[in-house]
Amino acid sequence: MLHHHLQYPCSMDARNMLSRFSANITVPSVTNLKISIFTPSFVCFIQNNKCSSVKSNYSLSLCSGGNTFRKIVLRCEKNTSNADDFSVSLGDSQKLRKKSLAIFVSGGGSNFRAIHEATLDGSIQGDVVVLVTSKEGCGGAQYARDKGIPAVLFPSWGLSPNDIVTTLRRLKVDFILLAGYLKLIPIELVQAYPRCILNIHPSLLPAFGGKGYYGLKVHKAVIASGARYSGPTVHFVNENYDEGCILAQRVVPVMASDTADELAARVLHEEHHLYVEVVAALCEDRIIWRADGVPLIQSREDPNAYS
């Protein structure tokens, strides 16, 4: 990471310095203003020399998949009982290329819809460029038709694994997202998109995963086992069912009176939130691989924090 440490007293041209980063910037009129800017993932801090401490409510980070936050709000505390707030507005940052997403479904496609809607409202810095489905008449395929998203039937007669790889490459797909896709991903696709294929599974892997564990079968098995907790898992895809590196999980309690349908609804609700959060991080290049091969999600607010 490149670091640029710039200090400008407010009596000089701090405003002019900041205007080089944004035309829409406002700087509070305080004396001895110091500004530190770190790039490319930069955080902007402002410190008033009269204050004993400065606390930042928001941080700024520039990620390759998205925009920076538009405002950083800081609190200058002279003592515990007397605090002054001021803010710096940074305006729009340089927009970087959105990621192209392929989504694979076999059923209703509720996670597909959640992801697509998040791309439309800007929560995810990406575009869904193609749907791949194993069932032409499924709800996910119908949603794609309604939204004008191109759809491909796979597996299908006359379309080999290498053909689907070629199709995705022609569409310049960056990431593949499995959202209730019940077929095993062919090794050709795994090799063509290393560390670029995600799946969401409705249990806390590695428990209740593998071939045959999908849909209500998972939730029935969880309840029958007496497990007190379940929840969705987002993991990278390898050549085996549900065995890729775990990226994120969300814990859901299993109630004593739960039916499989009730537990499924509770887990699915969390799936929609978790998958959107993870795909947003993926599109912003905030997935960091630890030395031992474990993937972590870098916080947007604090680049030094991971989950």
Which positions are annotated as active-site residues? 201
DSSP assignment of 224-238 equals HHT-SEE--EEEE--
Query: What spatial distance separates the first Cα and last Cα of the chain, rounded to whole Å?
Result: 20
Q: Please give the Cα distance from 97 to 66 (Å, whole number).
A: 8
Among 183, 199, 232, 216, which residue's Cα sits nearest to residue 103?
A: 199
The residue written with tokens 């405003």 in the block is 15
Q: Please give the Cα distance from 240 to 230 (Å, whole number).
A: 22
Question: What are the phi and psi torsion angles at 294 (to 5°)?
Answer: -90, 125
Among 174, 179, 24, which residue's Cα sits nearest to residue 96?
A: 174
Q: Please give the Cα distance from 112 to 89 (Å, whole number).
A: 35
Angle, nearest 10°, between helix axes 216-225 and 260-283?
120
Q: Please give the Cα distance from 250 to 33 (Å, whole number).
A: 43
Tokens of 207: 């428990």
Q: Please give the Cα distance from 167 to 282 (Å, whole number).
A: 22
Tokens of 37: 């800017």
- 85 contacts 56 by C-beta, under 8 angstroms: no
